[in-house]
C-alpha cells in the first residue's frame, strides 16, 4: 500500500546557485529548486514524519574556449552521455567556490534544507549545447535535512 501524500505550502528562505570549478577548467553552476513537497502518512524509526520533495536540479556549465565546439544538431541527454563508453572524459571537482543547501519553511513549521552531493561528472568530447558548451553528465544524490517541530512527531503508544 502506498503512503498517502499531504501537499504542503512552503516559502523559500534561501535559494541560490552553487558553483564548482572543474578539473577541465570549466565552471559548473548548480541550482536545486523545490517545486512541491508533501508529508506522508508514515513515520521514520524514531517517530518523525516522512517528507517527499519534488524538485528540479539544474546544472549549467561555462567552459573555456578550448573546450567549446560547434553546437550539435542533436543534443543527447546527460543520461545518454553517461551510458557512452567512448567519447567521454571523467572530470572532477577541483575547487568548491560556493556550496550551501537551499532552505525552505513548510506550512507545518518544519524547516527543510536540501543539498545535492555530486558523485560523478563526465564531459562529452563530441556533443555541444546550443551555446557551444560541452554536454556534461552529472551524477548526484540528494541530501535532505529536516528540523521538525516535536508536536508533529508520532507519540509513543
pLDDT tens-digit map of 30-51: 999 999 999 999 999 999 999 9
Bridge partners of residue 104, in order along the sequence: 12, 112
> What is residue 77's predicted lDDT score, i.e. its pLDDT?
78
Is the pTM above the cut of 0.75?
yes
Q: Which pLDDT belongs to residue 119?
A: 96
- The confidence score (pLDDT) of residue 156 equals 75
β-bridge pairing 134-147 and 111-128: antiparallel
Confidence of residue 1 (pLDDT cuts 50, 70, 90): low
Q: Cell numbers at residue 16, please?
A: 541560490
Domain boundaries, the chain: 5-150
Amino acid at each position: 500500500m502506498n503512503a498517502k501524500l499531504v501537499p504542503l505550502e512552503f516559502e523559500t528562505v534561501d535559494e541560490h546557485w552553487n558553483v564548482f570549478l572543474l578539473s577541465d577548467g570549466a565552471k559548473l553552476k548548480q541550482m536545486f529548486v523545490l517545486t512541491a513537497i508533501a508529508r506522508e502518512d508514515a513515520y521514520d524509526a524514531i517517530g518523525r514524519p516522512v517528507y517527499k520533495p519534488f524538485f528540479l536540479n539544474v546544472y549549467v556549465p561555462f567552459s573555456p574556449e578550448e573546450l567549446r565546439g560547434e553546437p550539435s544538431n542533436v543534443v543527447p541527454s546527460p543520461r545518454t552521455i553517461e551510458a557512452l563508453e567512448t567519447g567521454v572524459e571523467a572530470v572532477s571537482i577541483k575547487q568548491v567556490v560556493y556550496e550551501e543547501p537551499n532552505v525552505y519553511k513548510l506550512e507545518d513549521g518544519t524547516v527543510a534544507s536540501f543539498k545535492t552531493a555530486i558523485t560523478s561528472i563526465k564531459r562529452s568530447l563530441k556533443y555541444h549545447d546550443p551555446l557551444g558548451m560541452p554536454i556534461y553528465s552529472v551524477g548526484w544524490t540528494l541530501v535532505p535535512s529536516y528540523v521538525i517541530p516535536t508536536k508533529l512527531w508520532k507519540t509513543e503508544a
